[in-house]
Amino acid sequence: MKNIAVIGAGTMGNGIAHTFAQFDYNVQLIDISQASLDRGIATITKNLDRMVAKEKISETDKNRTLGNITTYTSIKEGVQNANLVVEAATENADLKGKIFKELDEVCPADTILATNTSSISITQIAGVTKRPELVIGMHFMNPVPIMKLVEIIRGYNTSDETMDFIVDLTKKINKIPVEVNDYPGFVANRILMPMINESIETLYNGVAGVAEIDTVMKLGMAHPMGPLQLADFIGLDVCLSILNVMYDGFKNPKYAPCPLLVNMVNAGKLGIKSGEGFYDYSESRKAENVAKMFS
């Protein structure tokens, strides 16, 4: 297996493409617009430059990695020789279903179809295809080139051969695969998102401020990043989507998103990507200044 197609050139997609390309896989990076692809390649280049500056890789390594990536604005053209497709589009079940239906129609019959979904049912996604035994979840962590964990999620019909192959491939790109079963949120977000949501509830109820909540969790629980800063880093819209998936899947009120989170997303305060969330990122991408509405 040498040809890996990645659907989506955003934060997760370009990180996945970067990682496979760095390990000498031929990567076909696919997005709907050339502008999105250009931004994705620019991000990969910047991240590689940072690695060169830290002497983790050489300039030759950087150029080889970039040379392993080809961009496409057409799914059909980008996947025609793919052995594996990793979908990393927006966390939306309808969109993913549409993408997988198209992939099933245009990919070679033996192509494995993986999704980077962080919460949506693999079985549901596989259900729109005629190859459910070849559909699997590969939930990478952000930032992909740095984080070691990949949750490997088996759908109801995922074959043992597909699971074994993806676990082995994950190890070949120097990641650590952890096999989990197909329930909303899997493991990482089933535990993480309620913590973030409860942190937002704590703020919403006036128990403490943004910086105080994050400081308690960093100093008291040894978290490298406070939960509100982490929510900004993930994207508040993504957090809301994941919580909604879990709430819909379990019908348990403990997964219901905090009204403050809903209002912030509706107001376009999405975190780092929008320049403001719980912190103000207008001057720095570091969480140094609490957003005006919370200060």
185 marked ligand binding residue: no
C-alpha 116/C-alpha 120 separation (Å) is: 9
Same fold, 3-181 and 190-290: no
Mean pLDDT (whole number) for 259-268: 98
Mean pLDDT (whole number) for 253-271: 98
In this structure, whether the domain defined by 3-181 belongs to CATH 3.40.50.720 is answered with: yes
Over residues 149-192, the pLDDT tens digits come to 999 999 999 999 999 999 999 999 999 999 999 999 999 999 99
Over residues 50-91, the pLDDT tens digits come to 999 999 999 999 999 999 999 999 999 999 999 999 999 999
Residues 6 or more apart whose Cβ sits within 8 Å of residue 196: 227, 228, 230, 231, 239
Over residues 132-149, the pLDDT tens digits come to 999 999 999 999 999 999
Q: Where are the domains of the chain?
A: 3-181, 190-290
Q: Which pLDDT belongs to residue 101? A: 98
Confidence of residue 2 (pLDDT cuts 50, 70, 90): very high
CATH fold of 190-290 reads: N-(1-d-carboxylethyl)-l-norvaline Dehydrogenase; domain 2 (1.10.1040)
User: Which position has the token pair 């019909």?
Assistant: 157
pLDDT at 224 over 90: yes
9 marked ligand binding residue: yes
Query: 0.95 cut: is pTM over it?
Result: no
Give the H/E segment covering residue 184. none
By annotation, the residues acting in catalysis are: 118, 139, 151, 189
118 marked ligand binding residue: yes
Query: Which neighbouring-strand residues pair with 279?
Result: 290
Q: Is residue 13 within 8 Å of residue 36, measured between CB atoms? A: no
8 marked ligand binding residue: yes
